[in-house]
Amino acid sequence: MTTQTPARASTGARDRYFDVLRFLCILWVVVYHIFSSEAWLGFWPAMGLLFAISGSLMVRSLDRGALKTIKNRLQRLLPVLWLAGVIGIPLMFWHGWPSDERPALWRLVFWIFPLSDPPGSEWAASLTEPLWYMRSIVWFILLSPLLLILFRWYPKTMITIPLLVMVGVASGKIGFGWAGDLGEGVLTDGFTFLSLWLLGFAHREGMLKKVPVPAVVTMGLVLAGLATAWAFTHQEENSYDFNLIPPGQAIFSFGIVLILLRFAPKFSWVGKNKALDRLITIVNGRAMVIYLWHNVAIELSYPVGDKINVWKFGETGGTAICAIIAIVLTILGMLAFGWIEDVAAQRRPQLLPKDLGKKGGSSTPAAPAVASGVTGGGLPEPAVAANVDDSTVSLPVSGAPVGGAWHAQPQRQPGGVYGSPAVPRDDHQYYDNDRRVPEQQRRTPERGTYGAPRSGRFPDVPAERNDVGWSAGPGHQQPRGRGEQPPSFDETGTIPRNR
């Protein structure tokens, strides 16, 4: 029996748990930089959590087309940097950029594409210091297609390698000085946060759900405890601040973020509080602008404080007033430059964002209902989470033709939400965007029944492989033989799934 599935609006409910975490991270970064002398503020892994969230959302986009995803992600990120460069570079030269501290002019190209740190004068350090995050994100975006292939075949190994490298850095066995000033920061930050990016992969693939909660909590707390002990006994600049101790930051962040992603509650209650929901939406829609300009606001708050003589209230009172001034200036910067994030996301520019899922300032009509072979009402597809590109480039599995009536996609079964673990398959099952399709719903060229070649550029590995995930199921797993090779691109540009 075929039924009509409900229409799906393009702007369904967002992942509010991720939105709340990103909201807390952005606010924490602002507070951390205002009170930078307070080392205890480094115990909230704000940057590691931001990388993990981005890694999780990246997987969803990559399965819809790698090149399109990279293009869209860079298109949403780089305009914020370009606007900062258009404003900052002329000001640096106007103020006087001493020739002895000015790098070769060709390095200004990193203001266009930050494969290394965009150069800046000491006077503009408040603008250029946060740019390491954008540089790291660009590298992770570019490497994610390859990282995802390797991760799906060797998940535990891929996550462990960056952590082991940072242990080597802590022990002095590994260093990145050989990469010079162009590459040392890239490698240090890359290995510090690569395990967090891949932890986001594990979250999206459903691997974390396979690990019992007690094991996750124990592992996370042990890693966090070891990193804390290291930070206190190997302080940098007489501080145990994790942001000054990359090995400690990598391991501590991994432990805490592992716990946070394992639980991953829905947080649907946020929508019931309109004021809180609106605030979270605004901060998420202006996250990069706030991150990039808050340091400048903090730098300006002290001259402004001097002008109004805030120090007459004492050091504590004056610092508190300067903090308020910094927050006000950050809000003004968000209002002045926030529109660039709307333009980059192809939304109508707004003073304050209202709906991050809409483009052009109007809602997109719901998709028309379609008939499917699903018995009963089908579930709507999950909504696009923050910063997820929803464009799709559908590619068939090795050599399968594109087009034709039999290429229509069957309706997904209830429970096949994105991010669930890979499911076992056999010769009687086809895949549709990483989901199992029963034989009775297949459509093949010979039979003309439902079932399409699997679309998506990055197929996940069947669960019967004994090296997938963090726990092995009993019974039917077969080890991969020495002669079997990981998947590779074929002439169609897809990654064939090995049987």
> Which amino acid, one-letter code, is at 30?
V
- Same domain (yes/no): 331, 403: no
Q: Which has the closest alpha carbon to 457: 75, 70, 54?
A: 70
Query: Does 80 lie in the same domain as 221?
Result: yes
Q: Is the dihedral of CA 60, 63, 64, 69 positive or negative?
A: positive
| Dist CA 222 CA 368 (whole Å) | 51
Residue 381 lies in a domain: no
Is 250:193 a contact under the CB 8 Å cutoff? yes
Q: Point out the domain boundary residue: 285, 311, 344.
A: 344
How does DSSP classify residue 496?
P
210: in domain = yes
Residue 212's pLDDT is: 95
Residues 122 and 262 in one domain: yes
In Å, how far from its chain's centre is CA 161?
A: 19
What is the tally of structural domains in the chain? 2
Asked whether residue 438 is domain-assigned, the answer is yes
| 193 Rama sector, left if φ>0, alpha if ψ -120 to 50, beta otherwise | alpha
Q: How many CB atoms lie within 10 A of CB 21?
A: 21
Tell whether the torsion through CA atoms of 12, 16, 21 and 25 is positive or negative.
positive
- Determine the pLDDT at residue 101: 86
399 and 337 in one domain? no
CA distance 262 to 210: 9
Q: Do residues 118 and 165 lie in contact, with contact meaning Cβ atoms separated by under 8 Å?
A: no
CA-nearest of 458, 349, 364 to 69 is 458
What CA–CA distance (Å, rounded) separates 266 from 382? Answer: 13
Q: CA-to-CA distance for 245 and 319, rounded, in angstroms?
A: 26
User: In angstroms, what CA-CA distances link 233 with 39, 230, 240, 356?
Assistant: 14, 5, 8, 44
Residues 414 and 313 reside in one and the same domain: no
Q: What are phi and psi of 484, to 5 degrees?
A: -85, 130
* Count of C-beta atoms within a 10 Å radius of residue 104: 7
Within this chain, do residues 139 and 197 fall inside the same structural domain, yes or no? Answer: yes
Instruction: Give the pLDDT of residue 268.
Output: 83
The span from the CA of 422 to the CA of 72, in Å, is 27
Q: How far is CA 196 from CA 174, 190, 331, in A?
A: 20, 10, 29
Of 277, 284, 281, 261, nearest to 76 (Cα)?
284
Q: How far is CA 148 from CA 82, 91, 92, in A?
A: 29, 41, 40
Burial readout 36-75 (b: 16 or more C-beta within 10 A, e: otherwise): eeebebbebbbbbbbbbbbbbbbbbbbbbbbebbbebbbe
In contact, 186 and 132? CB cutoff 8 Å:
no
Please indicate, yes or no, whether residues 319 and 423 belong to a single structural domain of this protein: no
Per-residue confidence (pLDDT) for residue 298, from 0 to 100: 95
349 located within any domain: no
Tens of pLDDT, residue by residue, the chain (499 residues): 333 333 333 334 578 899 999 999 999 999 999 998 888 998 999 999 999 999 999 998 898 889 999 999 999 999 999 999 999 999 999 999 988 888 899 999 999 999 999 999 999 999 999 999 999 999 999 999 999 999 999 999 999 999 999 999 999 999 999 999 899 999 999 999 999 999 999 999 999 999 999 999 999 999 999 999 999 999 998 899 999 999 999 999 999 999 999 998 888 888 888 899 999 999 999 999 999 999 999 999 999 999 999 999 998 899 999 999 999 999 999 999 999 999 998 888 989 988 776 554 433 333 333 333 333 333 333 343 333 333 323 232 233 333 333 333 333 333 333 333 444 333 333 333 333 334 444 344 333 333 333 333 344 444 443 443 343 334 444 444 434 454 444 443 444 434 3
| DSSP 3-state of 444 | coil
| Rama region for 399: left / alpha / beta (φ>0; ψ in -120 to 50; rest) | left
Residue 318 within a domain: yes
Asked if 451 and 410 touch (Cβ cutoff 8 Å), the reply is: yes
Rounded to a whole number, what is the distance in angstroms from the first to the last CA of the chain?
32
Domain check: are 428 and 324 in the same one? Answer: no
How many whole angstroms from its chain centre is CA 304?
36
**What is the amino acid identity at position 319?**
T
Domain boundary, last residue among 316, 344, 372: 344
Query: Residue 350 domain-assigned?
Result: no
**66 & 195 share domain:** yes
Q: Which of 321, 344, 367 is the last residue of a domain?
A: 344
Whether pTM > 0.75 for this model: the answer is no
For 435-498, the DSSP string reads EEE-GGG---TTT--S--PPPSSSPPPPTTBTTSSSSPPSSS-BPPPTT-------TTSS-PPP
- Within this chain, do residues 83 and 24 fall inside the same structural domain, yes or no? yes
User: Could you tell me if residue 51 is inside a domain?
Assistant: yes
Helices (H), 172-286: 180-204, 213-233, 246-263, 274-285
Q: How far apart are CA 126 and CA 343, in angstroms?
A: 25
**Structure confidence at residue 475 (pLDDT):** 41
Is residue 125 located within the same domain as residue 66? yes
In sequence order, which residues have a C-beta less than 8 Å from that of residue 349 and are 6 or more positions away? 339, 342, 343
For residue 53, give Cα distances in angstroms to 79, 193, 198, 211. Answer: 21, 12, 10, 19
Give the domain extent around 467: 394-499
pLDDT the model gives residue 426: 39
Helix (H, G, I), strand (E, B) or coil at 371: strand
Tokens found for residue 92 = 């640096």
Q: Measured between alpha carbons, how far is 194 from 329 in angstroms, rounded to an integer?
A: 33
State which amino acid sits at residue 289. V
Asked whether residue 87 is domain-assigned, the answer is yes
* One domain for residues 328 and 410: no
